[in-house]
A and B are shown apart, each in its own frame.
Chain A
Amino acid sequence: MPELTYREAVRDALAHALRKDDSVFLMGEDIAEMGGSMAVTQGLLEEFGPKRIRNTPISEMAIVGSGIGAAIQGMRPVVEIMYEDFLTLSMEQLVNQAAKHRTMSGGQVKVPLTIRTQGGAGWSPGAQHAQQLEAWFVHVPGLKVVFPSTPEDVRGLLWSSIYDDNPVVFFEHRTLYPLKGEVPTELEPIPLGKARIHREGEDVTVVATGRLVHEALQAAEAAESEGISVEVVDPRTLLPLDEETIIGSVCKTTRCVTAHEAVVRGGFGAELAAIIQQGAFDWLDAPIERVGARFGPLPFAPAMEQWVVPQAADVLEAIRRTVARS
């Protein structure tokens, strides 16, 4: 199987869709000649031309709004919001328009729009360029929310997002772009709403998203040497959520840790914990532990940033707490 970086995998999925289907086009700030601020769309202008790889003015509201219009007209636009922090500027279009048209029109209108964006700390981007805001969108009926953590997943899930008839907010993690991984030779779509069990274990389930999947795998490795067997599950799609796989795993291990880079309070882990206690109540042998960032604007100073966002050691600590004896 070929090996791609996470960045190349995103680009590959976009190129496949652009080649296959004239209704697919890209819009975003500096995505054409510059190839995007994260170099994801490099080379696409050369292959597909300026009509399909379109630079936009610096207006997130206009980017998403015109994407919605094009989608309603039958196109499958993929728009890029340079940093997920800037999604705030497009909230009206996302929450009140894109999410609502399909139901408000009684199914007459569809919005097959994909909003790609990226975020995440670990490289000192400061408080306004590194947030993890996925939980905000999980709260909105009418949207789908995807957050892949590996090259294979990001490729297969981006494909499925483009071909989903609903608006999909597609989160990529900044520090995962250089991550290498094997991908199937032929692009294989991964259905939205299917979790992936990265590692099987017996004692604790860690449900992790984004970068924390990799931190959780490291923590699991360390826990193994302490005699704790850890299962790591990545939901991959936060909305719709594969509750069956997650609850099944927790029923098996009887303990659970949720882990994401976003702040703990009101984070996606809170939703997971609620769903798990409901579905696995009689199987839980310890309180569900949540791992996430400390509750404060992200500091610029690298040492402080490290301290605020969760690392493998934090996941390991939480794992230990769930199996603690008094």
Chain B
Amino acid sequence: MASEVKLPRLGQGMESGTIVRWLKTEGETVAKGEPLYEIDTDKVTQEVEAEATGVLLKIVVADGEVDVGTTVGVIGAQDEDVSELLAASRGGNGSAPAAAPVPDARALEAEEPSNRLLQGKPSDAETAAPRSSLTPPVAAESRVKASPLARRMARESGVDLAGLTGTGPEGRIVAEDVEDAATRGAARVALESPAAPPAGEVEIVELTSTRRTIARRLTEAWQAPVFQLSVTADASELVATRERLVELVREGETRPTVNDLLTRVVASALARHRPVNAHFVDGKIVRFPGASVGIAVAAPSGLVVPVIRDADRKTVQQIAGARADLVSRARGGKLKLTDLEGGTFTISNLGMYGMEQFVAVLNPPQVAILAVGSIQDRPTARDGELVVAPAMTMTLSCDHRAIDGSEGAEFLRTVKAFVETPALAL
């Protein structure tokens, strides 16, 4: 009996995924648990494993974005007839399985004139741009919110509203959004046309869905009323403690970094200052008992923030192990959606680039983020004497809707104390 391959929900809040490529071709045998295809969610690119053993009889959606639960392929016995199964899944699948790039599936569409998608009056989103056979007709089902003016402009300029993010109230696409999109399109056309000036200087970068998510979330974060607090800590003890920990590392274990130690002391501070260890969501503040700390990692596809869970209850060595695993997978594009979920706070460190201090943008719904600069020898006054000691400047960005200045300051004071005397964090 053939079984359908349906797009799985890989994490909370995942509604759709973009199939990047199939790792198997039609007719190839597949074992349960083998990587079958790759999808790009709005956070990561991830391999999806086969849930059945057999022959990949049909790839229904070769690439493109589809809703969770959509049938994207069929696995079954060699030469098994799957047309009925596919037809049934089309009928039963409210959100419509995808127009398909393969000729057989188009034939199925033709056989089924009652398909309401085909009969219905085309929406503006559809008529806005000629639909390529590769574009799933999902947009026809999910109504795009756009002002009448935006709709007319999209129609006239050939911009597909379904691909735009609205900046009007409640995400409504307004005229300016279409103008922006049309300008981008025009730039692209200009680049492609032979009459265009030498293309060497201009690079148009299409947004990956990770990049789009970064853009959307950080734009959202920018709306919050944020204030910053900065403190400079003497890092002598932190550096010395880290050196002693490195001496204790056993064969095969990861060498802890200063950052790992910092993650640990910040987590301890978070456990003591719950107002900072919180989310602001749906007009409520949600404070967490345990600290799961996100660490900002520059991955090839863009910034990702994998989470070290329960960092306040882990040893520095455990944190180092978890961090090494997450970072290597982030750089290899192998993070899973679950790696990115559940963070209660984020640390962003640009010290390795020599940045002395900087301001980080909130990682919503988290209410605070710590930006850590490099550890540098700096002159400082100690007991009335001018001495040179390693110092580190940390800047805390706080969402003022959830945190008051005094709460942020108390937290940062604790962090400074822990950095200067790491043993206090135990």
Could you tell me which residues of chain B, from 282 to 313, have a CB within 8 Å of some CB in chain A? none
A326 in contact with B149 (CB, 8 Å):
no
* Of B170-178, B190-198, B340-348, the one touching chain A: B170-178
Contact with A along B143-169 (1 / 0, CB 8 A): 000011111100000000000001111
Q: Considering the chains assembled together, what is the distance between the CA atoms of A102 and B167 in angstroms?
A: 54
Max chain B C-beta neighbours (<10 A), residue from A281, A285, A326: A285
A254 in contact with B175 (CB, 8 Å):
yes
Q: Considering the chains assembled together, what is the distance between the CA atoms of A281 and B169 in angstroms?
A: 18
- The answer to whether A254 and B149 touch (CB under 8 A), given A285-B174, A285-B175, A286-B174, is yes
Q: Is A135 interfacial (CB 8 A cutoff)?
A: no
B147 in contact with A284 (CB, 8 Å):
yes
A325 in contact with B148 (CB, 8 Å):
no
Could you tell me which residues of chain B, from 115 to 135, have a CB within 8 Å of some CB in chain A? none
Q: Considering the chains assembled together, what is the distance between the CA atoms of A281 and B155 in angstroms?
A: 14
Which chain B residues lie closer than 8 Å to A325 at the CB level? 167-169
B169 in contact with A284 (CB, 8 Å):
no
Which chain B residues lie closer than 8 Å to A284 at the CB level? 147-149
Interface size on A, residues (CB 8 A): 11
Q: Considering the chains assembled together, what is the distance between the CA atoms of A43 and B149 in angstroms?
A: 55
Give the size category of B's interface with A: 10 to 19
Which chain B residues lie closer than 8 Å to A254 at the CB level? 149, 175
Which chain A residues lie closer than 8 Å to B147 at the CB level? 284-286
Q: Is A283 interfacial (CB 8 A cutoff)?
A: yes
Q: How far is the CB of A285 from chain B (nearest CB, A)?
A: 4
B149 in contact with A282 (CB, 8 Å):
yes
B176 nearest CB neighbor, chain A only? A285
Q: Is A324 interfacial (CB 8 A cutoff)?
A: yes
Q: Considering the chains assembled together, what is the distance between the CA atoms of A254 and B174 in angstroms?
A: 10
Which chain A residues lie closer than 8 Å to B166 at the CB level? 326
B148 in contact with A283 (CB, 8 Å):
yes
Which chain B residues lie closer than 8 Å to A283 at the CB level? 148-149, 152
Which chain A residues lie closer than 8 Å to B169 at the CB level? 286, 321, 324-326
A321 nearest CB neighbor, chain B only? B169
Q: Which one, B151, B167, B168, B170, contacts A282 given CB within 8 A? A: B151
Q: Considering the chains assembled together, what is the distance between the CA atoms of A324 and B147 in angstroms?
A: 13
Contact with B along A237-266 (1 / 0, CB 8 A): 000000000000000001000000000000
Q: Considering the chains assembled together, what is the distance between the CA atoms of A326 and B176 in angstroms?
A: 13
Could you tell me which residues of chain B, from 31 to 82, have a CB within 8 Å of some CB in chain A? none
Max chain A C-beta neighbours (<10 A), residue from B150, B171, B174: B174
Besides the known contacts A282-B151, A285-B147, A326-B172, 12 further A-B residue pairs in the complex with CB atoms under 8 A apart: A254-B175, A282-B149, A284-B147, A285-B150, A285-B175, A286-B168, A286-B169, A324-B168, A324-B169, A325-B168, A326-B168, A326-B169
25 contacts between A and B (CB under 8 A): A254-B149, A254-B175, A282-B148, A282-B151, A282-B152, A283-B148, A283-B149, A283-B152, A284-B147, A284-B148, A284-B149, A285-B147, A285-B148, A285-B168, A285-B175, A286-B147, A286-B168, A286-B169, A286-B174, A321-B169, A324-B168, A324-B169, A326-B166, A326-B167, A326-B169
- Residues of B whose CB lies within 8 Å of any CB of A are 147-152, 166-172, 174-175
- Residues of A whose CB lies within 8 Å of any CB of B are 254, 281-286, 321, 324-326
Nearest first, the 3 closest Cβ-Cβ pairs linking A and B are A282-B152, A285-B149, A285-B147
